[in-house]
Amino acid sequence: MARLRLPGGVVAPGTWTRLAEVAEKLGDGRLHLSSRGGIRLRGIGDAEALPGALAGAAVGGRHDVVASPLSPEARRLAGVLHDALAEVDLPRRTLIGIDGGDGDVLGRHPDLGYSLHDGEAELIVDGRASGLRVEADELAEVLVRVAGGRVPGHLTSSVSAAPAPTTGPPIGWLEQDNGLVSLGAGLRFGMLPGQVARMLDVIGTPVSVTPWASLVIHDLGEGVAEQVVRVLAPLGLIFDERSPWLRVSACVGSPACGHGLSDVRADALQAVSAGQLGEGRVHFIGCGRGCGRPSAAHTEYRATGDGEYEVTEVPGKLER
């Protein structure tokens, strides 16, 4: 498996076709969106060919940097931090987050980052807003220093007015402040077929891979947005916020993973089709490793054998 990091989850027009070609030639033909705002390529048969195949594509980087997909400023700052942290040595799996002020990225509990509100940036440390305010022109420098274990002494504390964290993906028709439209789209298990990825390039606007393994297609006129829904909904993109698939996730399970005790995705599909999941977030795992486990409270189905599961209620990360 190859992990492709994106600056704030943003994929520029023209990139999707390249990624689809790489997935089809070297992998399983699909782009797997991750909960860290990136893309995974699975089933890579020739790892040595991968760097050359991806040359020139706007993917890579050393750390995961996620941003509120509906905040242009958060996305811009995520790109700045993505570049600034390229040479910074952080612990493996450190998550950098830029929250646009709605609490969506705070709900992902990033290790480091910023929450933007009222024209200021508040430092996030260990998944919580710290009350320390940072000037916009020193965001990258401060985060690099904090990542090294040093909080600059000149930072001032304030009472945070940030909203309570939210955890759901933005789905459907989303009005932008400039009169254009964004479309939020979910995917079953975060899997994007190469054919559909190519169509995103045809649209020709930036697309965000969100921290919920979904997509936000930006900067559309209303007529174009309507056409996008008509074409892509039948191909698997989910624009209905009531879809049960928006609250179901799963690890890859067997046969793709040698640890998997059951084909969890097939089992999840059967459970959704039969209406057997009840309410709330649900996650299927094929073994005790818990891959892909959500940070929010959820019902966990852990395979104990082929088609057999142990069901557990798992609290949210900050509730533990």
pLDDT at residue 77, rounded to an integer:
92
pLDDT (tens digit per residue) in 131-178: 888 887 788 888 888 877 787 888 888 655 555 556 689 999 999 999
pLDDT of residue 166: 61
pLDDT for 22-51, tens place per residue? Answer: 999 999 999 999 989 999 999 998 989 998
Backbone angles phi, psi at 215, to 5 degrees: -125, 150
pLDDT in tens, 87-105: 888 888 889 999 998 889 9
Higher pLDDT, 56 or 214: 214
Domains 1-240 and 245-319 share a fold: no
What does the pLDDT read at residue 156? 81
Most trustworthy range by pLDDT among 3-7, 308-312, 314-318: 308-312
Question: φ and ψ at 101, to 5 degrees?
Answer: 120, -10
Query: Does residue 128 or residue 49 have the better pLDDT?
Result: 49
Residue 266 has pLDDT above 60, yes or no: yes
Spatial CA neighbour of 212 closest among 65, 59, 38: 38
Q: Which of 35, 42, 77, 41 is nearest to 60 (CA)?
A: 41
pLDDT, tens digit (0-9, with 9 covering 90-100), for 301-310: 999 999 999 9
What single letter denotes the amino acid at residue 138?
E
State the average pLDDT over residues 55-67: 85
CB atoms within 10 A of CB 276: 9
The secondary structure of the chain in percent helix, strand, coil, rounded to multiples of 5, reads: 30, 30, 45
CATH number, span 1-240: 3.90.480.10
The pLDDT score that the predictor gives to residue 219 is 97
In the chain, domain spans: 1-240, 245-319
**CATH class, range 245-319:** alpha beta
Q: By the 8 A CB rule, do 284 and 268 touch?
A: yes
196: part of which helix (H) or strand (E)? helix 194-203
Q: Which residues contact 305 (CB under 8 A, 6 or more apart)?
A: 261, 262
